[in-house]
Chains A and B, each alone.
Chain A
Amino acid sequence: MSRITLYTVRKEFGSGGDKILAVEDIDLEIRDGEFLVLVGPSGCGKTTTLRCIAGLEDVTSGRITFGDRDVTGLRARERDVAMVFQNYALYPHMDVRRNLGFGLKLSTKLPAAEINQQVEDVAEMLGIEELLGQKPKELSGGQQQRVALGRAIIRDPEAFLMDEPLSNLDAKLRSQMRTELQTLQHELDVTTVYVTHDQTEAMAMGDRIAVMNEGTLQQVGTAEEVYRDPVNEFVADFIGSPSINVFDATVDGARLDGPGDFSYHLSETDPVDGLRTVRVGIRPEDIQLVDDGIELGVNVLEPMGNENFLYATLGEQEATARIDPTNRPQPGESVSFAFDEAALYLFDPETGASLKTKRDGVVPTTPDSIPNREGVESTTGTGPDTGSNDDQIEETVE
């Protein structure tokens, strides 16, 4: 069990002209016992980053340490980490017992009886004692998932690495396994890096979330931090479902003019000083339907039961709103909306960097409020410390 630190880790595939930059100079610290979720759209480099930590890929440059141990040059089998794969990767020719014991048999000098004892202990812990004699193809998806977890647990590794381990399960089993996995991780208290493309899963599971895009690390923080205080438009857009509404607006002093009849007077003009245009973001849940406000043309209304999703047009722009289930505007109708300035996001039109984020008085959980199991001082990586909320930024998109 240990802290995992990445120092400007870079990974390029191929060589010469068709070189692909998969991971660009990432600095990241994963604390001892932490559950860190790497999240991002497909192709963002999250899996590659995980595989670099696992030792399945060599890093092109940079260093990786586990605690004080530099593991950069070590192979996967020398790093003492365990990985759970998306398709579980159970050995098809071995029964569950041998699948579980394989790692101990290869990497330790434990006698067979001892290994067998541990296999049975882990099987009991996961509730799969009955399956020990079966081959993987005789198991259901959920059972295979448990065996894959057991195979990681039994090794008592320095870290668990998980690559979309729940994505092959059906929705119901997935949410059940989500909780189970979290409980297990807290019990075992093993540093865990978990990769997913599903931001809901990321927010639900991670002690902290690391958002990646195009090979760079965008932001690391708790679920609330990345939601309320994203460092840039990408993070704001990626986190939250349905996605944030973003559109261009021209700046005229304190007035913002957007698509359709969108017009708004900022009470606080600092963020937009000196800008001609700005990107305006409003989360769907911050749109309040009012009698007199900015006009929206209703396209579709999706009743969700506890709320309604309203898909509408603002001028030429698509916009989404989450509204009360009793409110049922019909397609073709027009509605008006308003919002609080505190809930407004503003982004730089050139760089996408956040100019203003949600400031509605709710104090998000900070990394420091996460139980810190080994008492390591809670700096977060080697990023610039400006003392503000964006000290999580290691890299931003240009």
Chain B
Amino acid sequence: MREETRREAVWQFLTYGFILLGAVTTLVPLYWIFVASTLEESEFLSSTDPRLIPGDSFLGNFEALRARENVQFVGRVGEMTQYVDLGPVYFAYDFWNLWNMGAIESSIFVAGVYTILSLLLCSMAGFAFAKYDFRFKQPIFYAILATLILPIQLLVIPLFLLMSQIGLTNSYWAIILPWLANPLGIFLMRQNMRSIPDALLESARMDGATEFQLYYKIALPTMKSSLAALSIILFLFQWNLFLFPLVILDQGKYTIPVAINQLVGAQRVYYDQIMVAATLSIIPIFILFLFLQKQFVSGILAGSVKE
């Protein structure tokens, strides 16, 4: 009996040790990103005596990053005329002389617009697949599903040619449009919307709702949690896109990943500035993660739903 208890204790100790080791390994780089962004380059890049506690150079590094000529990471008060070019919507916002979008604003703007539009499209398509009958429904659905296994960055070549053809190079639309009809999003919405009882929709039909009202007054409100999970998947997808923005966008429009890449590839690399950039692109999402844990986790799980 004593033997049993001792073994159990050892087992528990080992389990906790393993979990703690994992947690520390996970947190060290995150801690270091934050610390390094508050230090001078020479303070943290030292093989003999790197500093591991926060310093006070964050604002200095941030100002230096903002002042960079070749990469505009953070927006600044508009000096030159800046345009929002969304193809049909094209306007200069220098008339306010307010703000030149930097990479951070670009990324937030692009990921936000993408998330909203894609939610709309995916939920509409999912609604159609889940609740209507029409010819070729199954073949169309499986065709969309099949593209899930494709690494979509591989479509970069034809997409690049297509965008040059329709004149969308260096437009934010170029990195929004191609993945709006997100196969994973359509699949998830279809799966979830199948759980809406038909009687609910019919009841609304009898109450005088049009088909479109069924979608936005009944289907969407009952799908709130699925939509929240999906919006996180979509936002992070766009937030992390690297290859296609790198190919299609010019310097003035860089998103965060491309801008950081530019900082790393520059002639003189300022690591302290890079750490500020990394902090600004990672830490806000971490905080969001802590607040929206439930949605993040269900987003991850939603992404792993099997048929």
A residues with CB within 8 A of B: 54, 56, 75-77, 81-83, 85-87, 89-93, 102-103, 106-107, 151, 155
Contacts and interface: CB of A to CB of B under 8 A. Distances in A.
A76 B199 contact: no
A91 B200 contact: yes
Contact of A77 (B200, B205, B218, B222): B205
B221 interface: yes
B117 to A, nearest CB: 23
18 contacts: A54-B202, A54-B206, A56-B205, A77-B206, A77-B208, A83-B202, A83-B206, A85-B203, A89-B202, A91-B218, A91-B222, A92-B222, A93-B222, A93-B224, A102-B207, A106-B213, A151-B203, A151-B207
Contacts of A82: 206
Contact of B199 (A87, A93, A102, A107): A87
B197 interface: yes
Contact of A56 (B202, B209, B213, B224): B202
A89 B207 contact: no
Contacts of B203: 83, 85, 89-91, 151
A393 B166 CA distance: 69
A91 B222 CA distance: 8
B208 A107 contact: yes
Q: Which of B199, B200, B218 has the most CB of A within 10 A?
A: B199
Contact of A76 (B197, B205, B213): B205
A338 to B, nearest CB: 51
Contact of A106 (B197, B202, B208): B208
A81 B199 contact: no
Contacts of A107: 207-208
Contacts of A102: 204, 207
B197 A93 contact: no
B70 interface: no
A138 to B, nearest CB: 16
A86 B199 contact: yes
Interface residues of B, number: 17
7 A-B pairs with least C-beta separation? A107-B208, A103-B207, A89-B199, A89-B203, A93-B221, A106-B208, A85-B199
Contacts of A81: 206
B134 to A, nearest CB: 14
B251 interface: no
A77 B202 contact: no
Nearest to B200: A89
A218 B134 CA distance: 34
Interface string B194-236: 0001011011111111100100001001101000000000000
Contacts of B197: 87, 89
A335 to B, nearest CB: 49
Nearest to A80: B208
Q: Which of A90, A91, A107 has the most CB of B within 10 A?
A: A91
Contacts of B206: 54, 56, 76-77, 81-83, 103
Contact of A85 (B202, B218, B221, B222): B202
Given A89-B200, A102-B207, 16 more contacts: A56-B205, A75-B205, A83-B202, A83-B203, A83-B206, A85-B202, A85-B203, A89-B203, A90-B203, A91-B200, A91-B203, A91-B204, A93-B224, A106-B208, A151-B203, A151-B207
Contacts of A87: 197, 199
A87 B201 CA distance: 12
Nearest to B210: A77
Interface in B271-302: none
Nearest to A81: B206
B215 to A, nearest CB: 14
A14 to B, nearest CB: 11
B207 A155 contact: yes
Contacts of A86: 199
A83 B206 CA distance: 7
Q: Which of A54, A81, A89 has the most CB of B within 10 A?
A: A89
A314 B83 CA distance: 94
B208 to A, nearest CB: 3
B192 to A, nearest CB: 14
Nearest to B213: A106
Contacts of B205: 56, 75-77
Q: Which of B202, B203, B204, B224 has the most CB of A within 10 A?
A: B203
B209 A106 contact: yes
A48 B224 CA distance: 32
Contacts of B204: 91, 102
A54 B202 CA distance: 10
Contacts of B200: 89, 91-92
Nearest to A51: B202
Contacts of B222: 91-93
